[in-house]
Structure 1
């Protein structure tokens, strides 16, 4: 029978050997050539002979290991998973990399095909995963990741609160799917309950004088970048997102009825009424080389990109002496002016294409601070933005872009 003294005095040999215990059948100490010693348990599980390591000798006492070995033998006799089976399950359990791979290759294509996710959204998720989630969580087993692990990842993003919130939201979504796929226990999402950073809503609204300066700069750039400038002006005059403007196709525009169809927006398919100034702008734009896009890039088969349009916008802002401006500020300025003109939250929601009144109420609150004179002044400036340069009209034929 094994004793503590016998185990301690056991010397290594040229090959590993085993010292059996007589008190618990199947329990033994395995002594390795380099002197390491481990407690092992031999048993039959589902007709197969199994040898499972229980612990290193220095990690426990003989009394405790006998109790554990007896407990493990009872589990096997009752038909439960053995220690080796459980260990293999943990070793072969999916990692966070496996979770992301299944999400990207299985879940996302289905969502895109159902119209529940855009490729742009997937691109944002990929950037977050590859930059912040996978480096820290990638090799960890999905089932064993804890709230402490997620908090550690979030702590490294303290200086970027908005990105931190997006990363936590993405993480939470992934673990919700892990529960659905039975890779984690139900209601065990480790990303839930972690405090999100406070986000300050951006409130930059261009004043009438700033819009006038921007208009002058855009007119100077119109010869070189006609379609990018046109897209910027349409966005400013309609309140559409710049991505919605750049995705406009001639087949979805009916100038006669002043209607345009937006097949893909954040709220799904939308039909909008084209205001007279916007209709005038679209009526002056030629179809370049049969391109289906209202605002094509240098390749007629491809629409102008956000990156190209943003470059032109920033160049115009620089020339106009405007700082801290973004393309989306044009949309915010338009909707705030609607609020200042007396339009209610429901009208603004419909004009903006929002799902709820939450965002519309922001514009109503901002618009309440605008005086009637300021609203009229801004409207006049916006109307001037539809005027073509007196010595220039859109050219007919291919256009060569040289972006800075």
Structure 2
């Protein structure tokens, strides 16, 4: 099929084929330029050319990353190089042969994760904990499906959830490596078609009978910033990264709320600044030239990982099965047990699938505050007794 590629043509293009054949719409305005439409719906610009008697198909880039005009300019530049004897497909192939997995990890974090994912630090943690020790110096093209399945099984013996998230991470990395020309785009994704572990939905939360021991253990924690951060989880139900990244200018002392701009739900969220949270914040030592409330070890940085302090706390409290995220679930569970509606709990925890009508917005602000103050009183009685 040949027609002049325009935004309308590209937007409306759909895959036509048996799932195995290539579907390419060729541009009538520039010979060799085409739009490849995949069965998945993905669309990429390609350039067909001949070099040394061999027909080549070069992937220029994904539609959305490039506009039609930008793809046409890119194709024109490549054709100029090809006329001088260059072979961009072979150049990509040679480059891919030299690329190591360590280089892919770095490119993935800088080129994609940090700008597209709010949880990129989790990707970085999995890279450091699982992927770098396994394949640091291995070539990208050397990694097979069996290699990935073996690592997935190794992690999954004790941590099925972590294994599945690592598998998803690898799948995205290889998908992007293909898109970026680091590997041949015709090569199957080695992280595909690997059976995931079954994940049990967690419903663990800290009960009222367990709370005294947990409070005692939190108070005994020597890392001051970690101690206060964990209290903040317990009192507000905020997500881990929301707590750790908090800055002093996020606090509105007059309005008595905490403004969260960078939330998983993708919208601004206000957390009520209840009396106990306000007191907690007033006790946290401020560091000069550090805007973050929970200061990290590096100058000007925030606390990044509190896993070790949390393990100490939960072990001392004899609750080794409680994860840090379970504190957020504890907030929701205690609110539910106090008779608060699911809609209100969704608002307090900023669930992305919860929607409330605008007419009740001002009423729910006060309801959320009352709910959190009641929740705070439930916890405060345990703290007073310790």
Match of 1:216 in 2: 216
The alpha-carbon deviation at position 169 of structure 1 amounts to 1.2
> Is residue 337 of structure 2 the alignment partner of residue 340 of structure 1?
yes
For 2:385 and 2:226, locate their aligned partners in 1 and report how far apart those are by CA, in whole Å: 14
> Is residue 92 of structure 2 the alignment partner of residue 94 of structure 1?
no
CA RMSD of aligned residues (A): 4.1
CA 171–318 in structure 1, closer or farther in 2 if over 3 Å, else same: closer
- How many residue pairs align between the two structures? 282
The alpha-carbon deviation at position 303 of structure 1 amounts to 3.7
Match of 2:37 in 1: none
Counterpart contact for 1:172–1:191, Cα < 8 Å: yes
Counterpart contact for 1:339–1:348, Cα < 8 Å: yes
Counterpart contact for 1:158–1:164, Cα < 8 Å: yes
CA 311–133 in structure 1, closer or farther in 2 if over 3 Å, else same: closer
Structure-2-length-normalised TM-score = 0.58
For 1:337 and 1:155, locate their aligned partners in 2 and report how far apart those are by CA, in whole Å: 36
Any residues of structure 2 matched to 1:384-395 within 5 Å, and which?
A: 384=381
Counterpart contact for 2:164–2:196, Cα < 8 Å: yes
CA 124–316 in structure 1, closer or farther in 2 if over 3 Å, else same: closer
2:249 corresponds, among 238, 242, 251, to: 251
Structure-1-length-normalised TM-score = 0.56
The alpha-carbon deviation at position 254 of structure 1 amounts to 0.9
The alpha-carbon deviation at position 195 of structure 1 amounts to 1.2
Counterpart contact for 1:258–1:275, Cα < 8 Å: yes
Counterpart contact for 2:276–2:376, Cα < 8 Å: no
Match of 1:240 in 2: 238
Any residues of structure 2 matched to 1:357-396 within 5 Å, and which?
A: 380-384=377-381
> Is residue 172 of structure 2 the alignment partner of residue 198 of structure 1?
no
For 2:298 and 2:150, locate their aligned partners in 1 and report how far apart those are by CA, in whole Å: 46
Match of 1:165 in 2: 164
Counterpart contact for 1:277–1:386, Cα < 8 Å: no
Q: Which runs of 5+ in 1 are unaligned?
A: 1-75, 358-376, 390-404
> CA offsets per residue over residues 335-382 of structure 1, 9 Å max, x none?
12223334444443333234346xxxxxxxxxxxxxxxxxxx987541
Match of 1:111 in 2: 112
> CA offsets per residue over residues 261-310 of structure 1, 9 Å max, x none?
23434344633232524443245326535453333357874444533xx4
Match of 1:285 in 2: 283
Counterpart contact for 1:296–1:303, Cα < 8 Å: yes
2:269 corresponds, among 254, 271, 288, to: 271
